[in-house]
C-alpha cells in the first residue's frame, strides 16, 4: 500500500500490510542502501511496490525452475526421502542455499 502525506512531500511504502516475502525485503533494503537514486526514483514514480512484486514473482519462478533440475542432478528423489529422510533434508537445504546464491546475484543484488 502506498501512502503519501497531505503535502505530497514524502511517499512511504508500507509493505507491512501485505504478505512480504524475504526476497522482497532484501531487494528493498539493497536498493535503499546501495542504489539510493534508483530507490528514490521508484518511490517518487510510485513504481517501487510494483517493482518489488515483480522481484517476488521472478524469484518464485526462478526457484521453481532451478530446484527440480538441481534435485535431479544431485540424486534427490522421493525414494531417497522415504529411505533416508535426514539425508534428503540435508541435501534439500544445501540445494536451496545454492539456489539462493544464484537468485541473490541475478535478482536481489542486480
pLDDT of residue 24: 94
In this predicted model, what pLDDT tens digit does every residue of 47-75 receive, in sequence order? 999 999 999 999 999 999 999 999 999 99
pLDDT of residue 20: 58
Q: How many of the other CB atoms lie within 10 Å of CB of 88? A: 18
Q: Which domain holds residue 51?
A: 2-108
Q: How many of the other CB atoms lie within 10 Å of CB of 15? A: 16
pTM of the model as a whole = 0.72
**Residue ranges of the chain with per-residue pLDDT less than 50:** 1-19
Total tally of structural domains belonging to the chain: 1
Amino acid at each position: 500500500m502506498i501512502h503519501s502525506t497531505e503535502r505530497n512531500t514524502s511517499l512511504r511504502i508500507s509493505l507491512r500490510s501485505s504478505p512480504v516475502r524475504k526476497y522482497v525485503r532484501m531487494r528493498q533494503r539493497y536498493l535503499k542502501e546501495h542504489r539510493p537514486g534508483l530507490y528514490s526514483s521508484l518511490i517518487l514514480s510510485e513504481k517501487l511496490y510494483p517493482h518489488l512484486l515483480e522481484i517476488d514473482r521472478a524469484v518464485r519462478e526462478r526457484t521453481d525452475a532451478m530446484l527440480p533440475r538441481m534435485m535431479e542432478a544431485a540424486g534427490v528423489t522421493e525414494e531417497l526421502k522415504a529411505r533416508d529422510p535426514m539425508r534428503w533434508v540435508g541435501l534439500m537445504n544445501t540445494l536451496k542455499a545454492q539456489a539462493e546464491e544464484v537468485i541473490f546475484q541475478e535478482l536481489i543484488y542486480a
